[in-house]
Structure 1
Amino acid sequence: MFILVILLSLAWTMQVIKNTLQVTISHVKYMHFSCGADLDTSMALHDTFKHSIGSICIGSVLVPVLGVIHGSAQATSLISGDADEFMFSCTNCYSGVASRLITYGNRWGFVHLGVYKKGFVQASIDTWETFKRAGLEPLIDSDLTSSFCFLCGVAGGAICTLVGGSWALVVYKGYATEVSIYAFLIGYFMCRVAMAWPQACVSAYYVAYAENPQSVQFDQTIPARIQVLLRSQA
């Protein structure tokens, strides 16, 4: 139990670090995409620590939990399809609950959290409502940025496991399993922190576009992609 508590503390701490970077970078990029202004990164980081660190700590707990629920609901819906079997009878209900919950805690809300200094839940709700008004829900549901960052984290963790486990087998063979597990977790979280930068840029781009689709800062990439998604679903 003590080891489990330590690992949970590590996971939460690394999530807070990652989300702090995400709020800071998304603030800088949002200002660039929305009005072409270049905000100093150190100033954005200072504002993040001053106004948003409490909300970031809350969001670091809510986002992984609600993300897992939403992802499992989407996977269940894809598996069930149009089947009428009893085991899939609650799929629509579960999907509806997951879709409702994701509005109260999603990673896109970190953009509004940094820019407008809102609470995390309110920022998530406002961001999702903005996506709905702009018709970006199909695009958001098919976004692979989070999956790409997750796979990068797994790859980084696997490399650390190979290195740490190989070293432990040579020096401390009796601890090879424990060292391999801890090396994977450390490598995974370090890669996720490093990937916070591109993830924040993508989030800021989507949110800035949703708030002002007619801005000259944007091209036709997003509308063209939405049209492709709508045709594929027809």
Structure 2
Amino acid sequence: MWVSATAIKLLKGPKIEFMCSCANCYTGYASMLVIRIGLEELIDSDRTGTFCFLSRVAVGAICSLSRITMAWQQACLAVYYVAFAKNPQNPKIDSTIPNRIQELQRLQDSESQTSLGY
């Protein structure tokens, strides 16, 4: 907590003014935990490094799973567009893409008419 508060204080700037103002509160809370709970032994022990390492591994795994999920959806969408581009009259492909193309053309036509004063 002390390291996080120090990092926040070092990042001074107009965009993160709120975070910098909370850093003092954050540091005070960290000091209170050390005094009341007696975290000095934990902070000074080797368990902290192990805990931090395992936390990083867990968070990395969660982020990797999130990225794999998003990549799967993007790949499915890309395959759909490639299949449509290869054969637009394929009966297995629904009318989503042609409907969207028509909608975009209508919007473009209405914008061009509006700019011409019709």
Length-normalised TM-score, structure 1: 0.22
TM-score scaled by length of structure 2: 0.39
Q: Which has the larger radius of gyration?
A: 2
Higher RCO (CA-CA < 8 Å; seq separation 6+): 1
